[in-house]
Amino acid sequence: MESMHLQNVRVWVGDGCWRTELPIVDGCIAASSGGSAFDCGGRVATPGLVDAHVHFVMGAQSRGGIDLSNVGGRAPFEATLERAHRALPAGEWLIAQGWNESQWGDGASTPTKRWLAAMGDRPTVCWRCDLHAAVVNQAVLDRLDLPADAPCCQSGLLVEAQAWAHLVPALPEPALEDVRRAVVDASGWLNSMGITGIRTMEYRKQLEDVLDVVSSQLSLRTTVTLLDRTLPLDVGWLANRSAQLPRVIGCKAFFDGTLGSRTARMATPFLDRGDCGQWVECAADNTDVKWCEQVQRAGLAPSIHAIGDAAVARAMALLVDVPDAVVGTIEHAQIVPEDSLEVLAQIRLSVQPTHRAEDASTAMESLGAARVARMLPLRTLHNAGARLAFGTDWPVTSPDPMRTLAAAITGRTVSGEVLHGDQTIDNEVAIHAMTLAAAEATMLPTAEGLIPGAPADVVVWDADPFTWQGHEPSPRPWAVFVAGRCVYSLTGAC
Ligand SMILES: [Zn+2]
């Protein structure tokens, strides 16, 4: 039996209680102390943070890639691409991501293939930050089975199904060894931010080729929601999965797109477009009920991507009839439908405060004040009893959990303004949403907090996250434990 205890520490157990020491035996919280002492110098500790919604394999691959998230318009966009172009061997695809035209100030336009002209015949793909749109050059379009006179071939801008069904299958496959190494590296990087658990959205292929192969090297509790969604669902292979591998808990369907790409499905039109956005996939062909039945029959949890208020209303109507123990979730729920609080409180909401912070800049002109007031109103949802599980949607936004917590407790947007200051939540509520509630919604075993018998996933903080006002510098992890093992320390002590 291995035993130790954290001492000289103020532990937020997670259920409203505090402790002054934390005994750990064989990777779990114990009832009484023994073994070696780990002096925490009077610091505050919390349960390990859980990110309820990431695309882990994709996120790991995006690290060190060509990053367009900080470009402020066409000239720096083109300059970044040209630098990358010069550094790449001839013939290799140039794949960049992260552009967000809504951050570029007034009059900024969406990129087109003309912005990629300097790449010549090098196939070039630039994903928007939300991964629901990509601008590509002619060298890529020539490889896709799209009619040459289609508007998307004129602009080079592929949105939703054009990107998913046509572009993604044409992309070159990266070397598996490289992807696996990136995933192991990313696991340690997430630990250093205090993250000890994730639920990741993966296709079976990435799960089996990458995550399963390296799972024993990851210091990250992981559950998986499958992205494979063609009906009839192919889930027979799950019966043969070893219990040692990341647990597959659910399946995801998409009902709509995103606010940034104006493809979220709204009840009334976008003010700057004149249409209501899109229904996509099973919501477009009305197989959503059938999908939900098949997911449940497989013993899995249905998770529905729904962002616009019409999409959220439809997801809500479907999931409210799913038994609570099935743990269905609405992913994003960004524009809450009118008069929906009572029903929403019966469903787990997997939400991303950083999406609100990023979408805020164009929200007023595209949605108008009445709908902006319904844009992830955290306090109203919390007061109504909603079960909020926080996540980042990495690599769509940064995986840094402190950005998520800051957005939730301050209401601040990426431009520094406060969007709706009356909709902020207290630090403790926000931390609960990123620890116990996120674990509960994603079937991770840390949902009870740091009580005896629970896994010893713990973050000791260099500053108190409960009195933090949400400004930089944020509290950072001082030491991080997963199953009682120190996986990161600020001072390099482990
Ligand atoms: Zn996502």
- Reply yes or no on whether the pLDDT at 43 is more than 90: yes
CATH number at residue 288: 3.20.20.140
293 and 275 within one domain: yes
- CA 14 to ligand 1 center in whole angstroms: 27
186 and 297 within one domain: yes
- CA 176 to ligand 1 center in whole angstroms: 22
- CA 131 to ligand 1 center in whole angstroms: 9
- CA 80 to ligand 1 center in whole angstroms: 26
Query: Domain total for the chain?
Result: 3
Q: Is residue 446 situated within a structural domain?
A: no
- Reply yes or no on whether the pLDDT at 450 is more than 80: yes
CB 58 within 8 Å of CB 24: no
CA distance 285 to 306: 16
Q: Is residue 447 situated within a structural domain?
A: no
pLDDT for res 14: 95
- CA 331 to ligand 1 center in whole angstroms: 8
- CA 224 to ligand 1 center in whole angstroms: 12
pLDDT for res 362: 83
- CA 54 to ligand 1 center in whole angstroms: 6
Name the pLDDT band for 487 (thresholds 50, 70, 90): very high
Q: How far is CA 341 from the centre of its chain?
A: 23
Mean pLDDT of 337-360: 94
Q: How far is CA 236 from the centre of its chain?
A: 27
What is the per-residue pLDDT across 173-191, written as a single tens digit (0 to 9) for each?
889 999 999 999 999 999 9
210 versus 418: the higher-pLDDT residue is 210
The burial of 121, by beta-carbon neighbours within 10 Å (0-12 exposed, 13-18 middle, 19 or more buried), is given as exposed
- CA 90 to ligand 1 center in whole angstroms: 33
CA distance 357 to 370: 17
398 and 381 within one domain: yes
Strand partners, 202: 226
C-alpha closest to that of 213 among 250, 176, 251, 175: 176
Q: Which two tokens stand for residue 1?
A: 């039996």
C-alpha closest to that of 255 among 214, 228, 295, 288: 288
Average pLDDT, the chain: 95
- CA 283 to ligand 1 center in whole angstroms: 17
- CA 11 to ligand 1 center in whole angstroms: 32
pLDDT for res 304: 98
Q: Which two tokens stand for residue 290?
A: 């059938």
* Domain residue limits at 18: 3-47+453-489
pLDDT for res 315: 98
368 and 472 within one domain: no
CA distance 104 to 114: 18
Q: Which segments within 283-427 are labelled E, that is strand?
A: 301-306, 329-332, 348-351, 387-390
- CA 492 to ligand 1 center in whole angstroms: 33
- CA 174 to ligand 1 center in whole angstroms: 21
- CA 130 to ligand 1 center in whole angstroms: 8
Q: Which residues surround ligand 1, an ion (CB under 5 A)?
A: 393
- CA 55 to ligand 1 center in whole angstroms: 6
Q: How far is CA 181 from the centre of its chain?
A: 21
Token pair 């013939």: residue: 91
293 and 186 within one domain: yes
Q: Which among 143, 170, 197 is the end of a domain?
A: 170
- Reply yes or no on whether the pLDDT at 106 is more than 80: no
> Percentage of the chain surpassing pLDDT 90?
85
- CA 416 to ligand 1 center in whole angstroms: 24
- CA 372 to ligand 1 center in whole angstroms: 21
CA distance 152 to 167: 12
- CA 356 to ligand 1 center in whole angstroms: 14
- CA 481 to ligand 1 center in whole angstroms: 27
CA distance 376 to 352: 9
107 versus 144: the higher-pLDDT residue is 144
> Any residues with CB less than 8 A from the CB of 23 and at least 6 apart, and which?
3, 4, 5, 29, 30, 31, 32, 33, 34, 35
Q: Which two tokens stand for residue 338?
A: 């009118």
437 and 481 within one domain: no
